[in-house]
Structure 1
Amino acid sequence: MLIPLTQTFLSDSIQGMKSILRKIVFYSVALFLVAQTLEGVKVSGGLLTYILGGIVLSILFVIVRPILSIVTLPLNIITLGLFSFLINAIILYLLTIIVPGISIAAFEFNGFSFLGFIVPQLPINGFFAFIVASILLSLIIGFLKWLTKK
Structure 2
Amino acid sequence: MGFIIRLLVNALALYLLTRVYGGVSFAPGADVVSILIAALVMGIVNALIRPVLLLLSLPINVLTLGLFTLIVNGVVLYLVAAVTALNVNGFGAAVIGALILTIISWVLDAIVGAVGLDGRDG
Normalised by the length of structure 1, the TM-score is 0.69
Question: What CA distance in whole angstroms lies between the structure 1 residues aligned with 2:72 and 2:6?
Answer: 18
Question: What CA distance in whole angstroms lies between the structure 2 residues aligned with 1:85 and 1:65?
Answer: 12
Q: CA RMSD in A?
A: 1.4
| Residue identity opposite 2:44 in structure 1 | I
| Residue identity opposite 1:34 in structure 2 | L
Question: What CA distance in whole angstroms lies between the structure 1 residues aligned with 2:69 and 2:103?
Answer: 13
Cα offset, 1:60, TM superposition: 0.6
Normalised by the length of structure 2, the TM-score is 0.84
Find the counterpart in structure 1 of residue 86 from structure 2.
Answer: 102
Asked if 1:58 is matched to 2:22, the reply is: no
* Number of equivalent positions: 112
Bigger-Rg structure (1/2): 1
More strand by share: 1
Identity percentage of aligned residues = 25
Write out aligned runs for 1:119-130 (5 A). Answer: 126-130=90-94
Where relative contact order (Cα < 8 A, 6+ residues apart) is larger, the structure is: 2
Question: What CA distance in whole angstroms lies between the structure 1 residues aligned with 2:95 and 2:34?
Answer: 21
**Residue 19 and residue 66 in structure 1: after superposition, are their counterparts in 2 closer, same or farther (change >3 A)?**
farther
Question: What CA distance in whole angstroms lies between the structure 1 residues aligned with 2:99 and 2:14?
Answer: 12
The answer for unaligned runs of 5 or more in structure 1 is 1-17, 106-125
| Residue identity opposite 1:77 in structure 2 | V
Cα offset, 1:40, TM superposition: 2.2
Cα offset, 1:20, TM superposition: 2.1
The answer for unaligned runs of 5 or more in structure 2 is 114-119
